[in-house]
Amino acid sequence: MVRPAPSPRRPAAQPRQRRAAVAPDATAILNALPEPVIATDRDAVIRYVNQQAEAFFDSSAAHLTGVSLHDVLPPDCPLFALIEQVLNEQNSVAQDGILIDTPRTSRQLVSAQVTTLGYQGDLAVILLHQRSITQKIDNQLTHRHAARSVTAMAAMLAHEVKNPLSGIRGAAQLLEDGASESDRVLTRLICDEADRIVALVNRMEVFSDKRPLERGPVNIHAVLEHVRKLAQSGFARHIRFVERYDPSLPEVYGNRDQLIQAFLNLIKNAAEAAPETGGEIVMATAYQHGARLALPGSDRRVHLPLVVSIQDNGSGIPEDLRPHLFDPFVTTKINGTGLGLALVAKIVGDHGGVIDFDSLPRRTVFKVSLPMHADFDSTVDPSRDLP
């Protein structure tokens, strides 16, 4: 009997060898960034620029490298103070509202982030975020002008509208006593419409309140938690809330009741924008290290390190409404008055803060930057220099 020959044994599978990782070229990465990047030494001599910085300064890297930044920028440019601060303190800082106006750059308003190079502490790396002056002023200060225009309107309406409406309503009630049933429908309509207009004027009167704002240390997380509970027990029952808080955040210098009103309005807008199914609101806080806002028309910089973000996953803000979003009576709601965001702008402005927004489909974020209580100088009103 012939036994069949044993089948050849399949060789054991060899372990798959990991491909050697190829480190990307650092210069290529920096050139791929959409923002200008500059590295300088302690004497402000330029040691490196990426391609966006070449375009920003309208000059080649070969021409810029080795040249003093003092020969490129005006002597009073705030970047020099930031570079010195970073290199002396070995930290990172950010500053908004830096105006750069040279023949090569033209008139540019930028925000800058400056840090030290980790392994080489004598080099400062500068990242510039370019923004047009018109856009920046619109986003930060025009909102306050809109709120102040409502202030004047509210004072006028309270005097010129409420008093005549009171007389009209009283006359309608007198006519109602001797009117027929069909005429009483009309007199009742007059009274109802007069009441509706008075209610609208009453809502606007908050803008004409010029009493000094009473402020003190406020735990912003306690404010946000209170707002969330109010929202979830009422208009935002169908919304999923996500909280991303920085627990180490210091206290805000503000008025608790006013801040509750402002963030309640923002949450209400977010809840109304979110979809009926799968609606989500993200409430976040963060600290901006070294962030200061340079106010146009003033040589003073406001320290606004505390940032509160309210994000929803709605369809986004229509493009045509964005430039006027904080103006009074601007709304997409059928029965809306368009005063909610105008009131938010007023409250934030009264706190010396800034409100801005960014909107894409499924992601709209309102960011409120506020002063820190520990930094407050009682001799300075943070909103005093605002135009």
**Structure confidence by residue, pLDDT tens digits, 22-69:** 567 788 888 888 789 999 998 899 999 998 888 888 888 889 999 999
Task: Please give the average per-residue pLDDT across 364-382, as a whole number.
Answer: 70
Please name the residues in contact with 5: beta carbons below 8 A apart, sequence gap of 6 or more: none
- Report the interhelical angle of 162-177 vs 143-160 (nearest 10°): 40
What's the pLDDT at 353?
Answer: 85
Q: For the chain, where are the alpha helices, taking DSSP H only? A: 26-32, 51-57, 61-64, 78-89, 133-137, 143-160, 162-177, 181-204, 220-232, 256-273, 340-350
Strand partners, 307: 286, 369
Three-class DSSP category at 295: coil
Task: Please give the average per-residue pLDDT across 357-384, as a whole number.
Answer: 72
3-state SS, 94-115, equals EEEEEEEEECCCEEEEEEEEEE
The model's pTM is: 0.52
What's the pLDDT at 190?
Answer: 86
What is the band of 274 on the pLDDT scale with cuts at 50, 70, 90?
very high
Task: Please give the average per-residue pLDDT across 215-234, as a whole number.
Answer: 92
What is the band of 108 on the pLDDT scale with cuts at 50, 70, 90?
confident
Nearest to 371 by CA among 345, 346, 350, 351: 351
Task: Please give the average per-residue pLDDT across 233-249, as a whole number.
Answer: 90
Nearest to 281 by CA among 272, 294, 292, 291: 272
pLDDT digits (tens, 9 = 90+) for 156-182: 556 566 667 777 878 888 888 878 888
CB 46 within 8 A of CB 83: no
What's the pLDDT at 239?
Answer: 93
Among 125-139, 207-221, 264-278, the least confident range: 125-139
Domains, the chain: 27-131 (3.30.450.20), 138-207 (1.10.287), 212-375 (3.30.565.10)
Neighbours of 227 (CB within 10 A): 23
What's the pLDDT at 384?
Answer: 42
Q: To the nearest whole number, what is the mean pLDDT of the chain? A: 77
What is the band of 385 on the pLDDT scale with cuts at 50, 70, 90?
very low
**Encoded amino acid at 13, one letter:** A
